[in-house]
Structure formats: C-alpha cells, structure tokens
Structure 1
Amino acid sequence: MPVTVVLGLGRSGLGAARLLSRQGADVLVLESGEGPEHQRKAEGLRAEGIAVELGRPLTPDSFEPLLATCERVIVSPGIRWDHPTLDWLRDRGIPTNGEISTAWEASQPTPWIGITGTNGKTTVTHLVAHLLEQGGLDAPMCGNVGHSAAELALERFQDGQTPPQALVVELSSYQIESALELAPAIGLWTTLTPDHLERHGTLENYRAIKRGLLERSAIPVLNADDPDLCAHAASWSNVRWTTAESREAALGKGIDPWLWIEGDQVMHSSGALLAADALAMPGAHNRQNMVMAVAVGLELGLSGPSMEAALRAFPGVPHRLELIRNLDGVAWINDSKATNYDAAEVALRAVEGPLVALAGGEAKQGDAGAWIAALQRKAKAVVLFGAAQSHFQELLHASGYDGVIECCDDLGAAVAAAQRLSQGGDCRAVLLSPACASFDQYRDFEARGEHFRSLVLCLKRN
C-alpha cells in the first residue's frame, strides 16, 4: 500500500500526520530524535494507528527501504526546502509538500486570508481574526501563529461539521516556498526587509517567495508605507494599496491607495470609515497594520463603525509590545516576537525612553545599523544574553554606544540585571526585544516570551 511519510514530531508534523490519517492515508512519521518527549508523542500517534519510527535522520539511508512504496513526503517548516535529502527524493520522482499543503487540500473550498511579511504579519493576523470574530464571522486563525493549519483543519473540517466561513492564515516564507498551490482569496503583504537569508540565500529569493503568494491571491493587499514594496510598486497591477499616510503622500510615491488616513479618519473612496486612533497599540507601524486589517474587514462586508468598536476592544498581541506590568514606575514590555534587527528597531521607536533594552539569542544575518542607532537614542543600558551576547557587545562598542552594557548567560540573569539598571528615577521601561531567533535556548519566541513574563511577574517591588 502506498505510504505518505511525514517528517518530524513537531506541532506541524503531528497535525499533518493526524489529518492525513483521518483522510485514509497510510502514514509513517520519521523522527531523528529518540528522547522521552519523542517517545511520548510517538506512543500517542501509534495509539491512533499511525506508524512512527524514531532515530531516523533525514538522510537517503532512511528512505532507501521506502522508495518502492513512498508516494509523498510531507515536510515541516523547520526543514530547509533545499535539504540534500529532499532533492534526492525529488530526483527519484517522489513529491515533497509542506505541512501547509495538507491543510489547504483539506479545507477547500473555504477561502483563505493569507498574511505574510517580514514584520507585522502576526499583529495583522490577530487584528484580522479579531475584526472578523467581532463582526460575527466564523474565521479562525492558524498557520505560523496559534494552531498549525493542519491542526485546525483536523479540528474544523470533519464530516458532518459546518466548515468555517474563512481561514485567517499567517504564512512564513518557509511555508510559502513549500506550497506553491496556495492561492488565497485575499493576500496581505505587510513588509519586506532582509531576513532568513541564511536559508534563502539572497533578498531577491526571499522577495520572490513572498511575491508568489500575492500573485496567486485573488485580491492582493500591499502596504504602501514599506520602502521595499513601494520601490517595486510599478511592477504591480490590480493591487489594493493601503497607507497610514495621506492619499496625497501616497500619490507622490506613484501609488493610488485603496485605504488611507486623512486627519483623524481612515478613508476609502466612499468616504470616512472609522477613527484613526481606534487601535490603542503604540507606534506608527501599528497604524499600518490596522489599515491593512480594515481592508480585509471592508472586503468581507464589515462596516466602519463595527470595525472601530472591535479595534477599540482589541486586547493586543502576545509577545508583541505586550505590557506585562508596571513596577516601581517602570513598564515591563515583552516583544519576544522581534526576531530580527528591523523588528527590534520598530519596537524601540514605539516605546518611550529612556529604557533598558534586553537583546540576545541566536543572531541572524542583516544590517544592525538602524537598530543600534535606536538603542543609542532610547536605551540608557543594554543587557545582552544568550549566544549572541559577545557579537552584540562588539557591535555596540564598535558603534560608540555610550550607555551601560551588561552580558548575562540567560534571560533570568538578564531580567535581574535589568531591574537593577532601571532604578534611579529616569527609566520609563524595560523592553525585551531580542533582535534574534530564540533557538539557542528556547523552542520558539513564544516560549522565550512566556519565560520573560513569568520572570517579570515574580519580581518584587523595591
């Protein structure tokens, strides 16, 4: 019998394996690890009739015995799409698909709202899901945030169940490159700055992956305030541009916006829609995020007043400029989602200084100049932790940063140092905005942010 092989026992792999099994596929999960957690997950799948083999690395040797029966390999986002073993499989005629493909297949014809971008996509995804929920639409959120898309498809697309009216799906470049069949009803592209170049090689490759999703979208929505997207505006047609600036400013860049802000109102060609200050999240970038989310709501029939009321009730996004507490007059803010220099620089612009910044983790490629300049302007002290601490210390010294720099092995020590450095009366905030991936010490940025929250909530008043 033909076998579908799923790689890995992570969240995506588990969801894909269960979804495919429910659809009648003969599924085999291969996992390179053999630890207690892998054993626990494997036993859970085996109890459901899904075969699992542990200690099977992603090498041709692991697949040699399967070549005669393997009809498809499902790849989790964490595995490089150009991994030599995946290329070896393709050379032998075995299709490879991303986990997101299984959800796309299972959910059709339910329309997808696909949201991508270097920065901003998580906030926009949460905003869109919130607007649609408050507007009475059944449009759950999944993908690169919350549930994996396969997990949600498993939960919501069962026989006899009423399917959702839409899916709000955050899509990373890793997911998009592994699922070229994705064609959202509405596609949103928030920003583009250099990121994941260690995986994609060049900015041009990275851009092309994101662009492909938008070109396949029935209604593409782009952020006219992003410099890279704006620089390529002439190459697009039939795109809905949004801006947090005036229509005149957008026209000056050669873009005729579909939504814009004039004075204190979000505007459409039909007139004013809602108050521009409806969203309480700080920072000009969040006005851009808001206008993009409003574009989706408008397309799906929501009124301006209903969206304004929903935006005013928006609780914020975990790990993205999330206020944990105020302690001794200092705001402690969790921005663990800032996994690159650009996102961390945006956070520094949004938070009132002077502040103490916490940064570190697994460093990425990119230009740190704007981030370091923002630290010079806003941060009286920088506390560095994790694998990148020495590298960041060198960058700060080379730039002439004149604040205090402290290095710590882990986040616990960094939080203690930050509390000490924030004392003295002039500090307004302590900001965790790492400018790094989390994989040196955490499974993901969410685990890092949760640890920060728990540490901060345990701090004692002075």
Structure 2
Amino acid sequence: MTPSTTFAGRTVALFGLGGSGLATALSLKAGAARVIACDDNPARMEAARQQGIETGDLRQAEWTSVAALVLAPGVPLTHPAPHWTVDLAKAAGVPVIGDIELFCRERAATSPAAPFVAITGTNGKSTTTALIAHVLAAAGCDVQMGGNIGTAILSLEPPSPDRVHVIELSSFQIDLTPSLAPTIGVLLNLSPDHLDRHGDMAHYAAIKERLVAGAAHAVVGVDDAWCRAIAGRRKGPLTRIHVGDAGEGPGILARDGIVIDGRRAPAEPVADLSGIGSLRGAHNWQNAAIAYAVASELGVTPDAFAAALATFPGLPHRMEEVGRRGTVLFINDSKATNADSTEKALSAFRRVHWILGGKPKEGGITSLAPYFPRVAHAYLIGAATETFAATLDGQVPFSRCGTLAAAVTEAAAAAAQDGAGEPVVLLSPACASYDQFRSFEDRGDQFRHLVTALPGLRIPGA
C-alpha cells in the first residue's frame, strides 16, 4: 500500500467504494487523514465499515471542514451532469480529485525522482501497459503495475527512486488528476469514445493531452490527426511513434512487424515481431514500438528489449489465442467493444469466421466495410443482430445465432470445412457486452470455455 500522507490531520470526503475507492480510503486512513466515505450501495458502505472506515451521508457533511472530495473515476464529474457530491463540493470551494492525484501528490512530497510511466489512449492501453511492465521486469527493474488495468494505484508499493510505476490511465482518471506529471507520458491514439462523459471529441482529446503535456518526456503515436496535433503542440522532449511509414520527424517506426529506431542515422531495426502470437497485427506493432521508446528511455538495451518481447504472454480477451483445432485458430478478442478495436483484429487475419454483436455503439460496423472481403462468414449475437445484419446484407454471408454458444458451434463447424490455410474463428464483437454478459471479461471467459470444450483442441503451452 501507498499511504496518502499529504492529507494527514485533515478531513477528506470520498464517494465510491468499489475496489479503487476502498483502497483509497484505506490509504488515506493509513496516512492519518480522517475519511468520511459514502456510496449509493449500502453493502459497500457496510464492507467499508467492517474495515474500520468511517462512513456517512455526504449530503449531511460539514463541507467547510472538508479538504478534498475524492471521487471514484466511474462517477460523473461533468457530463451528462455532475454527480450531486461534485455540486456540493464545488459550492463549498472544495477541490474534486481522484486516487491518481493522491499518488501524484505523495510522489511529489516523498520521492519526486521516482520513475512514473503513465499510459493512455483510446485503444491498446492495457496491452501496452502490460508490455512495458513485462519488458522492464525482464530487465531486472522493480516494477509496480496498476491503475485502470486492474490494481488500484494506492494498493501498490510506494514510489521510490529504484522502483518504476507503470500505470494505465483512463480519461476519467486523468480528469481527476490536476497535478499529473509523469516521468514518461504515453499517448497511443485517439478516436471517439466516452463522449457521453466528456461532451465532445475536442474535450475528450484535451483531457488525454494533459497526460503528455505534463510529462518530463512524451511518447505519442502520431498515426491519427488528433495525436499529430497534440505532438505538434508538445514543447518538451518527445518521441513520435509511426506505423507503416516514416511520418513527420524522427522517431520510432513499426513497419511490417519490425520495430525500427529512426532517431539515429542510419535507422536501426531493434525487434522482429513475426511469430510472436501475443503481438499480432499493426496495432500491436505500435504497442511494441511505444514499449521500446519507454524502455530505451529507462536504460533497457535493444537486445534485452527484443528478448523480453518473445516471452510476453499477452492479456486475456485481447487477441488472445485460445487454441487450435486442425488448421483452425480460435481468437478471443472480447475486449473489442467498438468498431475501431475490432478493425485491429480483422486487419490481422486473412480468412475470418467472425463472431460479433452485443449492445451496439454509435456508428455500428459500417467503418469496417474495407475488411469485409476477409470475412468468410459472420455469426451474429445479441441486441445488435438486426442492425448488423442490415449492414452485412449483400456483402458478407451471415447467420443470426442469437447466443454465443450457438455462434461458437456453427463457426467451429464451418471453419473446419474451410479450405483456407489457417481460418480463424474470431470473437471480436464491436459491441458492449451488457445485453447478455456481466462484462467483456465474462463474455471472453464464456467464449474460452466453449472453445476449450471442443474435441481435439490444442491449447497453447499445454
């Protein structure tokens, strides 16, 4: 745990007692602050009380004595409307912050030289965060990984000069972190997402930009217009990441599965991703190039970086290889909850039996039309079935399967009869999961269970 000592002796209001909220309350208490914690869920309030955390109704709080409101990142700060606690705090002139801000203040107060790598973007954050942490750990670093990827930041060990924190940040978390100033700030890419929480794309991009604007060194993928503009405004040290071509200015290039360091002449290949199943596709070339930029900045040699890539296991539900049956490869990409994410998966394979659907997002799958020639057959599930059927009609053969179980059964049988060299049964839904599943993890776990039950399946590493 990292005790939050910067509010010692003061009263802090906290709303949201999920995993990160509970860790935050315990951190503040360990740092000698008085915490008044609140949640709309009575069971969470009781769980907090069982751990010795003071709880109360913040509607009745004496806000003039409160030093800060710590808000869980899932609670609306501005859009579609501020949460009632935000209104109360602002009326009293109380700052509204999050757990990442508490970490940043602790680092500034106790160990400002502690290495802190912060990663954001629309897609690929978790894989890139895990890859950076893996490379640094393989190089012998003491690495603490967390944030949006799963482990609450204040549950990690405290910052110190010989310990690297590798932290994934969502736009919600950045919005609650006014003093964000990482050693290395990473921005992968930007496309429309969470606009219900940020109002419009310009506001969303501005929040993301804050992560690299405050960084001592910035690493920015410049393959989309929003990120190119952000890189152009950057005043301090900057490494540009390009996929496919050299782009503007020197940087690190990922081309045809090769990571190339173009910051020196002649440009130097540093890693070959071919044959690394956990890093398939051009989006993972970008992830690897960004990981190299960060690792090299922290002293990892090209040889050590290349060796670490070969042992990267990947993350569940993100282009995860579940197994093979005959020539058929089964891929779990349940994390692909929008069309932009699914594009990365479709672009990685030449012959796809595509399972898709769920709770649809704005824009549907019309943007994926250039990849339809790669799709042998589509298997539709969930609430998006009829919308997606209308888009695919006349372009891709499809079946209305309804359930994931029916889709896996039909796709596995069809792929087994496919004459292609390596047909792929791909779960990449381009949809949220909440119509049929608890989460994208639940959806991916059920896909994995269904696939591993198929007779004759060979599982990687088994």
Say whether the 8 Å CA contact 1:319–1:446 is kept in structure 2.
yes
Match status 1:240 vs 2:243: no
TM-score w.r.t. structure 2 length?
A: 0.85
Is 1:403 aligned with 2:397? yes
Contact 1:273 1:305 in 2 (8 A): no
CA gap of 1:31–1:261, structure 2 versus 1, over 3 A, is closer
Shift of 1:234: 3.8
**Alignment pair present for 1:459 and 2:459:** no
Closer, same or farther: CA 72–417 of 1 in aligned 2, 3 Å: farther
State yes or no: 1:229 paired with 2:227. Answer: yes
Q: Which residue of 1 aligns with 2:433?
A: 438
> For 1:185 and 1:456, how far apart are their aligned partners in 2?
42
Q: Give the aligned partner of residue 30 of structure 1.
A: 38
- Counterpart of 1:422 (choices 415, 432, 438) is 415
Q: Structure 1-normalised TM-score?
A: 0.85
2:49 aligns with: 46
Q: Are positions 1:14 and 2:22 aligned together?
A: yes
Q: In the TM superposition, what whole-angstrom CA distance separates every residue of 1:416-446 from its partner, at most 9, and x where no partner exists?
A: 3433443423471111112123344445433
The structural deviation recorded for 1:189 is 0.9
Question: How far 1:169 moved relative to its partner?
Answer: 0.7
Q: In structure 2, how many angstroms separate the alpha carbons of the residues matched to 1:377 and 1:84?
A: 46
Question: SS of the residue aligned with 2:362?
Answer: coil
**TM-superposition CA deviations, 1:226-268 (whole Å, max 9, x none):** 343235654344422122445xx32xxxx21232358956224
Contact 2:11 2:65 in 1 (8 A): yes
Are 1:276 and 1:287, in contact at CA under 8 Å, matched by a contact in 2? no
Give matches, 1:21-420, under 5 Å: 21-34=29-42, 38=43, 42-52=45-55, 63-67=59-63, 69-82=65-78, 83-85=82-84, 86-108=86-108, 109=112, 110-152=114-156, 156-157=157-158, 165-230=163-228, 233-238=231-236, 239-246=238-245, 249-250=246-247, 255-260=248-253, 266-267=260-261, 268-269=263-264, 272=268, 274-277=270-273, 280=276, 281-353=279-351, 355-366=352-363, 368-374=365-371, 376-397=372-393, 400-408=394-402, 410-420=403-413
Contact 2:115-2:165 at 8 Å conserved across structures: yes
Q: How many residues align?
A: 433
Say yes or no: does 1:447 pair with 2:442: yes
The answer for unaligned runs of 5 or more in structure 2 is: 1-8, 458-462
Corresponding residue SS for 2:143: coil
Give the aligned residue type for 1:258: G
Q: Is the 8 A contact 1:195 1:365 kept in 2?
A: no
**Cα gap change, 1:3 to 1:454, in 2 (>3 Å):** farther
Paired residue secondary structure (1:182): coil
Report the alpha carbon displacement of residue 148 of structure 1 after superposing the two structures with TM: 1.8
Whether the aligned pair in 1 keeps the contact of 2:209 and 2:230 (CA below 8 Å) is: no
Q: CA deviation at 1:285?
A: 2.1
Moved more, 86-95 or 274-283: 274-283
Closer/same/farther in 2, CA of residues 45 and 107 from structure 1, 3 Å limit: farther
Residues 117, 164 of structure 2: 8 Å contact kept: yes
Aligned counterparts of 1:279 and 1:28: Cα–Cα separation in 2: 52
CA contact (8 A) 2:75 2:83 kept: no
- Counterpart AA for 1:49: G
Task: Quote the offset at 1:273 in angstroms.
Answer: 5.5
Residue 405 of structure 1, CA deviation: 3.0
Ranges in structure 1 where 5+ consecutive residues have no aligned partner: 57-61
User: Structure 2 vs 1, CA of residues 436 and 141 (structure 1 numbering), >3 Å: closer, same or farther?
Assistant: same
Contact 2:38–2:45 (CA<8 Å) still a contact in 1?
A: no
The change in CA–CA distance for 1:297 and 1:65 in structure 2 (over 3 A counts) is: closer
- After superposition, the Cα gap between the structure-2 partners of 1:422 and 1:6, relative to the gap in structure 1 and judged at 3 Å, is farther
Question: How well do the aligned residues superpose, as a CA RMSD in angstroms?
Answer: 2.7
Kept after mapping to 2: 8 A contact 1:195/1:366 = no
Identity of aligned residues (%): 35
Deviation of 1:166 (Å): 1.5
How far apart, in 1, do the equivalents of 2:380 and 2:167 lie?
33
Of 85-94 and 178-187, deviating more is 85-94
Compared CA separation, residues 130 and 270, structure 1 to 2 (3 A): farther
Mapped to 2, the partners of 1:443 and 1:28 lie a distance apart of 30
Tell me the SS of whatever aligns to 2:360: coil
Q: What is the CA-CA distance between 1:98 and the residue it aligns to?
A: 1.7
Q: CA deviation at 1:163?
A: 7.1
Separation in 2 of the partners of 1:278 and 1:450? 27
The answer on whether the counterparts of 1:116 and 1:188 sit within 8 Å (CA) in structure 2 is: yes
Q: What does the per-residue CA deviation read over 1:84-139, in whole Å, with 9 as the maximum and x for residues that have no partner?
A: 41234312222211232223233443231111111122221111111110111112
